[in-house]
Amino acid sequence: MFAYDTRRFQKIATDLDLPAFRLAQVRHWIYKSFTGDFYEMSNLSSGLRDILASKYYVTNSHVVAAKTGDGSVKLLIQYPDGAKIETVIMGYRDWSSACLSTQVGCAMGCTFCATGPMGLERSLTSEEIAEQLWHCCHYAKVNSLKPIRNIVLMGIGEPLANYHNVVGFIGKANAPELFGIGQRRITLSTVGLVSQILELAQLKLGITLAVSLHAPNDKLRNQIMPISCKYPLQEIVAACRKYTEVTGRRVTYEYLLLEGINDQGSHASELAGLLRGENCLVNLITFNQVPGVSFRPSTNVGSFQRRLAQAGLNATLRRSIGQEIDAACGQLRKGFPE
């Protein structure tokens, strides 16, 4: 791999005795033009292109399959050890967002998620997560899609269970000489790992923290999210309150509505009580069908949202895209279904 770290990038430039303007040219080809072939870097000398091609790759991973539909593209990416993950490009009117995975598999065991039953294979390094972003940017460029402007760390895996690599990736994504994506355009989603939320707060990043609640009380949440037995809701909300105090950033609470499970008026009232007085946004999510899972999408979305609004909470409904290609929220796996 060439470099997804500014210090390593500089070391390569030093080793090759590249002047500053040459280094800037190479960076531009890789991170602005998203060119993966050194021989296409036309303003470099043929000798330098030969050297680069003989010593480095732009990525160690590669896209082995792609599916398109419903305003999104799902890419299947394979790493040198054979591990595979899915990542998604979501198209909007003026830009695209990249939904990235942070682990191969997931240990959280959420009952409504396609990845839940698969378990955790391993975490991804910060460079491997950055390669996903590069592949998304490259695909968007080659296929004339809207450029990648936003990042959501909502793919396969629990980002805060891979804390140091995820924080390292955010630095790479934000670095002006690399991808140059502003921190306010990055959203990190978590089931609510309390100690990591508090640790993340101390970094005072400009990212958006999105916490998956999906239930208004611990008893119900434990049934659909087994990992929540370790993290009571009151502790999660307290950690998020501290996060907002330290960073000045409002927390988003994600709430997946499941028919007859967590979508009744009593649930809305209980959720309003849990979050009363908090500086937050509630993002309601419609359930996307997952094979082997018996949950159904709620038919009470509108009334649930109105109850929250009446209680003084700012509640929005997330637009769902990617269902045609099993790329919507909760549908990602470690490989395309056969």
pLDDT digits (tens, 9 = 90+) for 251-292: 999 999 999 999 999 999 999 999 999 999 999 998 877 777
Task: Select from 128, 182, 197 the least CA-distant residue to 156.
Answer: 128
Q: Give yes or no for residue 247 having a pLDDT over 90.
A: yes
To the nearest whole number, what is the mean pLDDT of the chain?
Answer: 90
6-55 and 62-325 have identical folds: no
40 contact partners, CB below 8 Å, separation of at least 6: 29
Pairwise pLDDT comparison (233 vs 13), residue with the higher score: 233
Pairwise pLDDT comparison (188 vs 17), residue with the higher score: 188
- E-assigned strands of 4-94? 62-69, 72-78, 84-91
Q: Give yes or no for residue 166 having a pLDDT over 50.
A: yes
Mark whether 113 is an active-site residue.
no
Percent of the chain with pLDDT over 90: 74
Q: Give yes or no for residue 324 having a pLDDT over 60.
A: no
24 contact partners, CB below 8 Å, separation of at least 6: none
Q: Just give the CATH number of 6-55.
A: 1.10.150
Q: Give yes or no for residue 323 having a pLDDT over 50.
A: no
238: helix, strand or coil? helix
Q: What is the band of 18 on the pLDDT scale with cuts at 50, 70, 90?
A: confident
pLDDT digits (tens, 9 = 90+) for 293-321: 788 999 999 999 999 999 999 999 977 55
pLDDT of residue 325: 39
Output phi, psi for 39, to 5 deg: -70, -10
Measured CA to CA, the distance from residue 152 to residue 332 in angstroms comes to 14
Measured CA to CA, the distance from residue 83 to residue 335 in angstroms comes to 9
Which pair of structure tokens corresponds to residue 61? Answer: 């991973």
Measured CA to CA, the distance from residue 47 to residue 38 in angstroms comes to 11
* 11-20, 92-101, 198-207, 277-286, range with greatest mean pLDDT: 198-207
Pairwise pLDDT comparison (32 vs 115), residue with the higher score: 32
DSSP for 165-211, written as a single string:
HHHHHHHHHH-TTTT---GGGEEEEES--HHHHHHHHTTT--PEEEE
User: Which candidate in 86, 127, 128, 158 is catalytic?
Assistant: 86
pLDDT of residue 337: 55
Q: Just give the CATH number of 62-325.
A: 3.20.20.70
pLDDT of residue 327: 40
Query: Residue 164 CA to chain centroid, in angstroms?
Result: 15
Domains in the chain: boundaries: 6-55, 62-325
Task: Select from 57, 56, 165, 40 the least CA-distant residue to 101.
Answer: 165
pLDDT of residue 208: 97
Helix axes 20-31 and 6-15, enclosed angle (nearest 10) = 130
Q: What is the band of 23 on the pLDDT scale with cuts at 50, 70, 90?
A: confident
Q: What is the mean pLDDT of residues 20-28?
A: 90
How many C-beta neighbours within 10 Å does residue 85 have?
Answer: 29
Q: What is the mean pLDDT of residues 213-233?
A: 92
Mark whether 86 is an active-site residue.
yes
User: Which candidate in 106, 136, 137, 329 is catalytic?
Assistant: 329
Amino acid 303 reads S
Measured CA to CA, the distance from residue 277 to residue 270 in angstroms comes to 14
Contact 105, 124 (CB under 8 A): no
Q: What is the band of 322 on the pLDDT scale with cuts at 50, 70, 90?
A: very low
Measured CA to CA, the distance from residue 38 to residue 29 in angstroms comes to 9
Task: Select from 115, 46, 49, 48 the least CA-distant residue to 87.
Answer: 115
DSSP single-letter state for residue 149 = E
Q: What is the band of 193 on the pLDDT scale with cuts at 50, 70, 90?
A: very high
Q: What is the band of 330 on the pLDDT scale with cuts at 50, 70, 90?
A: very low
pLDDT digits (tens, 9 = 90+) for 41-94: 999 999 999 999 999 889 999 999 999 887 789 999 999 999 999 999 998 888
